[in-house]
Amino acid sequence: MEGTILPCKTVTPKFPEISQNPVKSRLPFKYIPRNAHLTIVDAHLTYLCRNGRLTEAIASLDSIAQCGSMVSAKTFSYLIQSCVDSQSIHLGRKLHTRMKHLLKDLDPFTETKIVGMYAKCGSLEDAYKMFDEMSERNLYAWSAMIGACTRERKWDEVVELFYLMMMEDGIVPDEFLFPKILQACGNSGDVETGRLIHGVVIKCGMNFQLRVNNAILAVYAKCGFSDLAKRFFDSMVLKDTVSWNSIITGYCQKGELEKARRFFELMREEGFEPSLVTWNILISSYSQLGKYDVVMEMMIEMQSCGILPDVFTWTCLISGFAQFNRKTEALECFEKMLLARVQPNDVTLISLLSMYASLKDLKKGRELHAWALKAGFGENLLVGNSLVDMYSKCAKVEAARQVFDMMSARDMYTWNSMIGGYCQAGYCGKAHDRFRKMRESDVKPTVITWNTLISGYMQNGDDDQAMDLFQRMEKDGHIKQDTASWNALIAGYLLTGNKDKALGIFRQMQSLCVKPNSFTILSILPACANLIAAKKVKELHCCVLRRNLDCELSVANSLIDTFAKSGNIKYSRTIFNSLLAKDIITWNTLIAGYVIHGRAVDAIELFNDMSHTELKPNRGTFVIMNYRFQEYGKHSISVGPWGGQDGYHWDDGVYSTVRQLVIAHGAGIDCIQIEYDRNGTSMWSEKHGGNGGAKIDKVRLDYPNEFLTSIHGFYGSLQEWGPIFIRSLTFESNKRSYGPYGIEQGTYFTFPMTQGKIVGFHGNCGWFLDAIGVHLEPLTNLIPSNSIMHSQNYVVQGAETYEYSMLQGNLGNSYDLILAVRQKGQYRSNSTPENWSRQTSNSSEFSRVESQNKDVDVVPSKISRVPSENVQGVMTYGPWGGNGGTLFDDGVYDGIREIHLSRNIGIVSIRVCYDLNGQPQWGSKNGGSGGYKSDKIVFNYPSEILTHITGHYGPAMGMGPNIIKSLTFHTTNWKHGPFGDEQGQSFSTKLRGGVIVGIHGRKGLFLDAIGVHVLEGKATPVSSSPSGSIAQRGPSINEADNTPQWSFKLGRHGLMQEAVQRVVKDPAPYGPGPWGGVGGKPWDDGVFTGIKQIILTVREAICSMEIEYDRNGQSVWSVRHGGNGGVTATRVKLEYPHEVLTRVSGYYGPVNKDQRTQVIKSLTFHTSRRMCGPFGEELGNYFSSTTTEGKVVGFHGKSGMYLDAIGVHMQHWLGNQRSSRPSYLTKIFS
């Protein structure tokens, strides 16, 4: 074939013959004569493109160019379109490079096609480059470029191109281009450009084009200019469904759903039938606001109009339910969606998975995971990310890892969710391993990834590793720390109680000109809420003003609270007065500040000012105002009314008490009439309301022993546009509850009151009882003995009896109030019962025993054991403490792994991690919030078992009801604690031997009382041994010489007697030392009975140390203190109990010349018989423990890669004289 020459006359110019002859169509174009007709080339290229051989067609262009042939503009455009259809941008680029050689003249149409090709194939950069090289840019070229940016959602660039188009080329958009530009204005919020285009449209005479007018209307609606949108909408001569949808969307986006609904009804009145899009707009808006009753009515109405919900409709409804964690309704909608044969999309599944993650509903999450796999969503990236997040938040990191490993594609969110899940579960090491793999992958860590890992280490107490990551961010990761990075360090230090370090990080943050945000301020301010930190609060306030953060209400509320607690109530009032907008937390915070400063009059005035605003008092407000009752008992206050604004106002005034109520009700409360008592005389009020009511009920109180303490209920309307009135009422007395009367639908209202009674009513009424409020008065007389409330305590001091009330409440996010008020008056005298009965874990038993014991604090002399009704063999003890708060019971498990405490003047809260079938199970947080110190107690379960708890309880602030003041946890290995101040009455749960398998008690603002569930019997932990790295070196462990360096004769005055016969005193909680360097993490094994053996690993320094202790005859191994270095291990074994360790000495210094870090270089152990060592090189600084006679009963120190420092716990002899009384061993050998 290479030698074949085709003469010109043999080539047939007829198109059909060439297209039907595949042999000739495959001939290289270099064999076609130069004078071949252009039609042959075009026909050949068209043939290849139509048969899907675009690559071959592009490749043949080189042969065509070498022959000097050209391609027609029409054929070239056809080739460009073929590249677009096949999304082959690489072939498009090849075609572009050959354009100048194949076309005789470059026309703007062809160049515009090239721009469109790049844009449609997703290469906006190439499209811009071609657009800039164009010799002439007409309207079509600008349209192609604007269309390219529109497809990429580059709205700002579309607006910029519009200005360039008008100013540089003087080209005015047409009726097809204007809508695209206006769409960009609406999506970018550029209403000014939209108004400019509106003027241009009017000047160009296009203001009657419906498509253009709809686009202008959409700009005004999306940008929130609803008034302009309405005026323009009213001026439109022609309207269609799109016009109505635009105006309805505008009102929905502003939250003005009532106006949107009116336009929806007006749309139907004017003959425009709402489309599916119209219904979806309204359903989506109502769902986001949680108005589900309206949504369901609209769904029914929509289907009655013949319009079926699509996937967007169902997804909006499910997302709305999921947003408010309404699991049941969301699941019902999902099931209805499937029954309607509407295929869910990935957004539907993401909404449900997000809800299950927030609720930690693992069961439903797994069911949805199985359904997603069956439905073909297994490879969906967004669904995979949601599954990883769901399993991580449900503490199932292994399941999250399996989903992660099965994902074929991963993005930044996938990696971040997996790393965050490991950190949340406490597996920071695995999180760091995943972080390293992420850096090796195509997806590089972002600042969010680094921050997640830093926060994880801080929350798990490893601040050294967190700080190391923080410093490596910019150096290794080439990512600059942002404000969130600094916030992670500050929040972590505050979580562990290191306020000074947190403040130091904050100052360093400011010195480096890193701008703090509201989260920074909200984190650091509570650390300064004391009288000592008044200057620091002012410093933070200046920072807030410099950064313009004072306009954020949460920051202002925190400043008001912090200034009040630091002693500057005037600053709090100044900030309060400067706020343009206030919420309930703002008012409550300042009222609480006045109460703390003893300015009750100012607190009452502020409360009255609050009643004239739209805000209604909440539980926190009434908790604070209880203090007002103690100081101003002869006055009453008015609360409410709750309900609607219709009807006329009525007020019965203030009486002595309420005797009975008559309520007429049906679909709501039609009317109410009250019988009051005034100094023993019955007085009836007028009937407040209408004459309706299908049922009449009477509430007769047991006057004078029973009185009303609170009311609660619901208010709402029968129809969406109807008047609001009281739908339901429930009355609470000091003895029982009455109601509910009416229908419990609408908005719920209530007010809690524990120190007052209702002495009058007021409100609004018309055809119904539109609104109701109450007049409250404090309790000036003693409550009858059979209804004493648990918030009161009686304390006997000498011959006098005092009553105290603890006012506890939460005023919002981390705003707590604690008041202990001594009441004046005559109180009953109560004898102390001899027996203090025990409660079972059943709540009904709690109530029964509680009603018998009332609220008198007693000291138990005999405690009975009550079997638990939940698990056979489990006994329930306690609770010990006060009578305030509410009951709680975590239930019964297999054991306890970990305990978290929060405390300030007492134990604020407790949270327990139990063991159930080998898996950790966290109980609820029992108690309040606001503790300034947190403690984490981790047991080496099952080798270490919690056997009993001891502690103290007493008044919170020197008076008032009792709370738990301190707790100490005793295990089979050692004692953890005490945590808190050991003041007040002591208690112990150790009645019989056993294992604690659950806790119960009472909780309020503090941990008021605590009890335990005990599985009785002998506590037998799983045997513990030294860590594997040492235990496996059995043959390599060198035994220290056990032979005494001097001989002795066992007898009356022998060394054996010397070790066991001394009179001892209790060891100090913190012993001498530690000696050594300042590096490493602190550790403390605690105090034991004695020491049996020590295992050391030595290299250039002491690498690690591990100790076997004795606790009352039971062997207890410590963890390894130090690193994994050292070739061999050396064991120092004592003949315990006849040989005891009396002193430790050694040397510390740098590991080598290059390192300045000081570690323990050598150790020598002195016993009652001999000296063991030295182990290691005796270089550096010498140290020795005390030479006072005694024995070492524990070690503490610091460790990292080496044993950095070491100290001892000593148990000293009370004297140097041996006891004159011979020991048992002496009698044997004498």
Q: CA 216, CA 648: separation in Å to the nearest integer?
A: 47
More confident residue, 1201 or 116: 1201
Q: CA 979, CA 973: separation in Å to the nearest integer?
A: 18
The region of weakest confidence among 755-759, 1213-1217, 1225-1229 is: 1225-1229
Q: Is residue 398 within 8 Å of residue 421, measured between CB atoms?
A: no
pLDDT per position as a tens digit, 661-694: 999 998 899 999 999 998 788 888 889 998 887 8
Q: List, in sequence order, every residue forming a beta bridge with 901; answer none if it has no partner.
A: 910, 935
Q: How many CA atoms lie within 13 A of 270 on its CB side?
A: 14
pLDDT at residue 960 in the model: 61
Placement of tokens 């119960």 in the chain: 1000
Structure tokens belonging to residue 867: 């079997």
Show the CA angle centred on residue 1046, arms to residues 1043 and 1049, nearest 5°: 95
Q: Is residue 956 within 8 Å of residue 930, measured between CB atoms?
A: no
The region of weakest confidence among 83-97, 302-316, 421-435, 727-741 is: 83-97
Strand arrangement, sheet containing 1158-1167: 1171-1176, 1158-1167, 1141-1150, 1181-1184
Closest CA to 1104 of 1093, 1096, 1113: 1096
Residue 792, SS3?
Answer: strand
Q: CA 709, CA 432: separation in Å to the nearest integer?
A: 57
The region of weakest confidence among 64-78, 148-162, 213-227 is: 64-78
The mean pLDDT value for 169-198 works out to 85
* CA distance readout (Å), 1007 to 789, 790, 815, 1217: 18, 14, 17, 48
Q: Is the peptide bond before 867 cis (omega within 30 degrees of 0)?
A: no
pLDDT at residue 532 in the model: 59
Q: How many CA atoms lie within 13 A of 508 on its CB side?
A: 12
The mean pLDDT value for 633-638 works out to 59
Is residue 877 pLDDT above 60, yes or no?
yes
How many Cβ atoms sit within 10 Å of the Cβ of residue 324? Answer: 15
End-to-end CA distance of the chain: 123
Residue 340, SS3?
Answer: coil
Structure tokens belonging to residue 381: 């990236």
Q: CA 246, CA 215: separation in Å to the nearest integer?
A: 9
Phi and psi angles of residue 70, each rounded to the nearest 5 degrees, phi first: -120, 170
How many Cβ atoms sit within 10 Å of the Cβ of residue 512? Answer: 9
The mean pLDDT value for 389-393 works out to 89
pLDDT at residue 65 in the model: 64
pLDDT per position as a tens digit, 418-477: 998 888 888 888 888 889 888 888 888 889 999 989 988 888 888 888 888 888 888 887
* CA distance readout (Å), 1025 to 987, 1022, 1029, 1030, 1097: 33, 10, 11, 10, 16
Structure tokens belonging to residue 449: 């990834």
Residue 1170, SS3?
Answer: coil
pLDDT per position as a tens digit, 564-618: 887 788 888 999 988 888 888 899 888 888 877 767 778 878 888 887 887 877 7
Structure tokens belonging to residue 912: 């327990």
Structure tokens belonging to residue 291: 């108005």
* CA distance readout (Å), 654 to 514, 544, 635, 638, 1057: 59, 47, 10, 10, 84
Q: CA 875, CA 623: separation in Å to the nearest integer?
A: 37
Q: Where are the alpha helices (DSSP H) in 1172-1223?
A: none
- Nearest-10 crossing angle of helices 257-269, 276-288: 160
pLDDT per position as a tens digit, 239-263: 888 889 888 888 888 888 888 888 8
Phi and psi angles of residue 26, each rounded to the nearest 5 degrees, phi first: -95, 0
Contacts of 974 (CB under 8 A, 6+ apart): 1085, 1086, 1087, 1088, 1109, 1111, 1116
Q: Is residue 806 within 8 Å of residue 819, measured between CB atoms?
A: yes
Q: CA 121, CA 1014: separation in Å to the nearest integer?
A: 71
How many Cβ atoms sit within 10 Å of the Cβ of residue 554? Answer: 17
Q: What is the mean pLDDT of the chain?
A: 76
Placement of tokens 């997806």 in the chain: 443
Q: CA 652, CA 687: separation in Å to the nearest integer?
A: 11
The region of weakest confidence among 24-28, 168-172, 540-544, 550-554 is: 24-28
Burial class (CB in 10 A: 0-12, 13-18, 19+), 1210: buried
Q: CA 254, CA 851: separation in Å to the nearest integer?
A: 54
Whole-prediction pTM: 0.47
The 8-class DSSP code of residue 1194 comes to E
Q: Is residue 1033 within 8 Å of residue 1129, measured between CB atoms?
A: yes
Q: Is residue 1068 within 8 Å of residue 1210, measured between CB atoms?
A: yes
Q: Is residue 659 within 8 Å of residue 676, measured between CB atoms?
A: yes
Torsion sign, CA atoms 278, 283, 289, 291: positive
Following DSSP, what letter does each residue of 751-769 receive, concatenated? ---SSEEEEEEEEEESSSE
pLDDT per position as a tens digit, 496-538: 778 888 888 888 888 888 888 888 888 888 877 765 567 788 8
Q: Is residue 709 within 8 Å of residue 791, measured between CB atoms?
A: no
How many Cβ atoms sit within 10 Å of the Cβ of residue 72? Answer: 16
Q: Is residue 885 within 8 Å of residue 1008, measured between CB atoms?
A: yes
The region of weakest confidence among 452-461, 942-951, 1146-1155, 1211-1220 is: 1211-1220
pLDDT at residue 854 in the model: 35
Q: Which amino acid is at 161?
A: L
Following DSSP, what letter does each residue of 626-646 receive, concatenated? HHHHHH-TT--EEEEEEE-S-
Q: CA 591, CA 624: separation in Å to the nearest integer?
A: 7
Is residue 21 pLDDT above 50, yes or no?
no
Structure tokens belonging to residue 1164: 């020598």
Q: Where are the alpha helices (DSSP H) in 375-411?
A: 381-393, 397-406
Residue 212, SS3?
Answer: helix
Structure tokens belonging to residue 793: 């305590």
β-pairing, 874-881 with 1007-1016? antiparallel
Q: Is residue 1161 within 8 Å of residue 1180, measured between CB atoms?
A: yes
Q: Is residue 1130 within 8 Å of residue 1106, measured between CB atoms?
A: no
Q: Where are the alpha helices (DSSP H) in 410-549?
A: 412-424, 428-440, 447-459, 463-476, 483-495, 499-511, 518-524, 534-546
Is residue 1024 pLDDT above 60, yes or no?
no
The region of weakest confidence among 10-14, 81-85, 753-757, 1005-1009 is: 10-14
Placement of tokens 């060394």 in the chain: 1055
Q: Which amino acid is at 1049?
A: K
β-pairing, 1129-1133 with 1038-1039? parallel
pLDDT per position as a tens digit, 340-364: 888 888 888 888 888 888 888 888 8
pLDDT per position as a tens digit, 1077-1090: 988 889 888 888 89
Contacts of 513 (CB under 8 A, 6+ apart): none
Placement of tokens 């042939």 in the chain: 69
Closest CA to 777 of 709, 703, 701, 684: 709
